[in-house]
Amino acid sequence: MASSLFLGVGAALTSDSALAGEQAAETRENAAEEEQASDPLAGATIDAALVYYQEQDRVTAAEGIINYRQALDDANIIRGKIALDALTGASANGAVIQARPQSFTRPSGTGVYQARAGELPLDDTFKDTRLQLSANWQHLFSAKWQASLGGYLSREYDYTSLGVNAGLEHSFNQSNTQVFAGAAYYFDIVNPVGGRPVGMSEMVFRKDFASEAEFRQAFDATRFYESALKRTFDFNVGVTQTLSRRWQAQVSYGLSAVNGYLNDAYKVVSRVDSGGQALGYHYEQRPDERLKHNLYLMTKGALESGTLTFSYRYSDDDWSLQAHTFDARYRYNLSGAAYWQWQFRAYLQDAAEFYHLYLTEGEPLPEFASADHRLGKMQTYTIGVKYGQKLEQGMLASVRLAYYQQRPQNPGVELPGELASFDQFPHIDAIVLQLGMRF
């Protein structure tokens, strides 16, 4: 379990697009679980996985992952990872559902995309490809002390992230207790398509101008065209304790400080009148700083038939976005060569303090506002099953199938006029299929 620290620190997503946030984190946790089950000094190991994520009528994601681990000697281990994912489909742009068709200027300023009457506005041009590379060196100073250093690079069409991380672990109490600490720093460069929208500026439309030049001048007034930066510092400290011959527990605390460009350049907020009719759209604006805390509790037990794991994570930040994550897994060993694993995961989140489903005509614009459902009140649930089978020559194959449901909820917002005629918080259903092979 201890070695997972060195993989986990610095494994944060560079953007919100990769495998739909919560599911991406869950994919990493499954990979870390496989890592913990192996002997870190067992020579060279290659783990390959294909992950397919499909939302109903929304985003489709496919990701290929290769992890390489090599024990150089009894004291040094190197790890490398390469991941390539592609996302296509339609993503909600934040606007409310209306009883009439709606049009939106594309982020590039060229052309429009539309939402039909009674349907959630979706940007159907959502498409991205990400390449992620990471490397890690772990050194065992003795049976009681070990440390690691790592680097990270992620590149998307409009987003680049560079990171470094380090970790330290100490074992004592006859190796029944391990304390660990880790830190990571990320430097991100953001270049949205069409430039960065000026926060809270209003979307302009070509049809409202006599010439292309006049429209372009008005559009440019809503844009910053230079690159934006984001910096993240993560810190994690914790303890793992063997409770008995069969049970183990872990407690950890994490701190994350982020500053810079934190907006989603492709999200808007509708401005509506007293009858709920949209009169315009404003680009979102979030604070340029965020401080996050999280507390993680986990217990794992070795039963006669397999392994039982329970975990709970509480997170909070200065955006007033609180979240609770509950996860339960039971691994049933069919034999020494095969197993089934069942999982249930629940995620409960409150809305950020600046979450606005809409803005009201005639009222002053707020300093910060976002209608992004990822910052709203919601619940998500995952039910999954995984089958693993040892093959010849020590290889291990696995397949995981999961059903994921996201349930956005009204945080107490009044729905005037026609807004009340539609479900402004539609559910999202998705299927996750993961195929894995260890060599």
**CATH number for the domain harbouring residue 376:** 2.40.160
Q: How far apart are the C-alpha atoms of 435 and 433, rounded to whole Å?
A: 7
pLDDT at 413: 96
Helix (H, G, I), strand (E, B) or coil at 393: helix
Domain that holds residue 151: 4-19+92-125+142-438
Q: Is there a domain that residue 81 lies in?
A: no
Cβ atoms within 10 Å, residue 194:
18
Alpha carbon separation from 376 to 164, 248, 411 (Å, rounded): 31, 35, 7
Q: Is there a domain that residue 31 lies in?
A: no
- Helices of type H across 136-282: 212-220
List the structure tokens of 152: 């990270």
Say which residues have a Cβ less than 8 Å from residue 136's Cβ, sequence separation at least 6: 6, 7, 78, 79, 80, 148, 149, 150, 151, 165
pLDDT at 31: 55
Question: Do 263 and 39 contact (CB within 8 A), yes or no?
Answer: no
Apex 63 CA angle, 297 and 263, nearest 5 = 70
pLDDT at 351: 98
pLDDT at 30: 59
- Strand 358-360 with 268-272, pairing: parallel
pLDDT in tens, the chain (439 residues): 443 343 333 333 333 443 445 555 555 555 555 555 555 556 789 999 999 999 988 899 999 999 999 999 999 999 999 999 999 988 999 999 999 999 999 999 999 999 999 999 999 877 789 999 999 999 999 999 999 999 999 999 999 999 999 999 999 999 999 999 999 999 999 999 999 999 999 999 999 999 999 999 999 999 999 999 999 999 999 999 999 999 999 999 999 999 999 999 999 999 999 999 999 999 999 999 999 999 999 999 999 999 999 999 999 999 999 999 999 999 999 988 999 999 999 999 999 999 999 999 999 999 999 999 999 999 999 999 999 999 988 899 999 999 999 999 999 999 999 999 999 999 999 999 999 999 9
Q: Is there a domain that residue 410 lies in?
A: yes
Q: Is there a domain that residue 114 lies in?
A: yes
- Strand 247-260 with 228-242, pairing: antiparallel
Q: Is there a domain that residue 389 lies in?
A: yes
Alpha carbon separation from 415 to 201, 357, 377 (Å, rounded): 24, 9, 16
Bridge partners of residue 303, in order along the sequence:
none
pLDDT at 126: 72
- Helices of type H across 3-156: 4-8, 22-36
Q: Please, what sign has the CA dihedral across residues 38, 39, 42, 43? A: positive
Q: Is there a domain that residue 338 lies in?
A: yes
pLDDT at 39: 55
Apex 402 CA angle, 398 and 405, nearest 5 = 165
Helix (H, G, I), strand (E, B) or coil at 329: strand
- Strand 278-283 with 268-272, pairing: antiparallel
Q: Is there a domain that residue 108 lies in?
A: yes
* Structural domains of the chain, count: 1
Q: Is there a domain that residue 312 lies in?
A: yes
Q: The whole model's pTM is what?
A: 0.90
